[in-house]
Amino acid sequence: MQIASRVERWPLARPFTIARGSKRTADVVVAVVTDGRHEGRGECVPYGRYGHTVAGVAAEIDDFRGPFDRRALLAHMPPGPARNAIDCALWDFEAKAAGQPVWRLADVDRPRRVTTAFTISLDTVDAMGEQANRGRGHALLKVKLGSDDSDADAARLDAVRSGAPGARLIVDANEGWTIDTLAGFVPHAVAAGVELIEQPLPADADGQLAGFASPIPIAADESLVEGADLDALTARYQAVNIKLDKTGGLTRALALARQVQTLGLDVMVGCMVATSLAMAPALLLADRARFVDLDGPLLLARDRQPGLAYNGDSVEFSTDVWG
């Protein structure tokens, strides 16, 4: 078995901004495994929040010498984007070698067409209202907030609600608030009909959420990393956002989804900004998820071909893309 990485840069349709910064391209790393007859691919996004770099992740993949077994891989490599790309490439390889769809190998239901959130990037009040107006055909909008001005964030939310009055709303602060900011924002979010607030506090400060009574469920994103104390998270959050680049692949993500549901937490399946090759594996988690946020390709100027079939606010799995 051989493995190699490929670095790709995909231009965005428009700048994408969250509380930690802005970018104009999606820089992804693709792992390709082959035995000379069958080839499997997996895509990942190195994320600076966790100290990853494109060059470093590509080197991890190129230096990998095995084991070419998904279960052994969990013990051999730490979680992160490199393991995700390798794990997903192995799933893809196994499906092609077996002549079976990947969902059957994973013993999950065939992925159905699901509604995905569409992200409204952090910007000025007027610009976010315009984004919402352009995206008003989407049933579920994810609104990026997290500035240090809570009044401005409230005004941004109002602009989004005005621009898309019929949409369901999720708010994602990307660790950008304090507990006092969150407490002041919650009544405004209730009035706007927000259904979920994602990672309001920095991960190292989220102990303050223990005992915080919010009428809107709060989801862990950056706080949910491999090795996290899930029992502690249940005292702070009501939902978790599972991303394959954090779990280190689909193999671990499937097990984690079952685990957090056992603890009574809702599942959200999320993504980094990437192509359909990164979204397809995550769709195998969609049946377990209350919220699906797999809009990465919709934020690109163009997706890889063939790509997943996005139709307005919904997306459908395809073995032409992966698995």
Backbone angles phi, psi at 46, to 5 degrees: -60, 135
As to burial, measured by CB atoms within 10 angstroms (0-12 exposed, 13-18 middle, 19+ buried), residue 314 is middle
Asked whether 285 and 111 are in contact (CB, 8 A), the reply is: no
Cα 121 to Cα 114: distance, rounded to the nearest angstrom: 22
- Which residue among 96, 142, 243, 246 is the active-site one? 243
Which residues are within 8 A (CB) of 104 and not within 5 positions of it... i.e. 6 or more apart? 110
* SS3 of residue 17 by DSSP: strand
What value, to the nearest 5°, has the Cα angle with vertex 126 and ends 125 and 129?
Answer: 90
Sign for the CA dihedral angle at 85, 90, 91, 97 comes to positive
Residue 170 · residue 291 · CB < 8 Å: yes
> For this structure, is 144 an active site residue?
yes
Q: Do residues 171 and 194 make contact, with C-beta atoms less than 8 angstroms apart?
A: yes
Q: Chain-centre distance of CA 306, in angstroms?
A: 21
Cα-based angle 287, 174, 242 (whole degrees, multiple of 5): 25
Catalytic residue among 23, 96, 142, 144: 144
Rounded to whole angstroms, the Cα distance separating 70 from 275 reads 23
Query: Structure tokens of 323?
Result: 């698995």
Rounded to 5 degrees, what are φ and ψ at 203?
-55, -35
10 Å CB burial of residue 197 (0-12, 13-18, 19+) is: buried
Active site residues: 144, 243
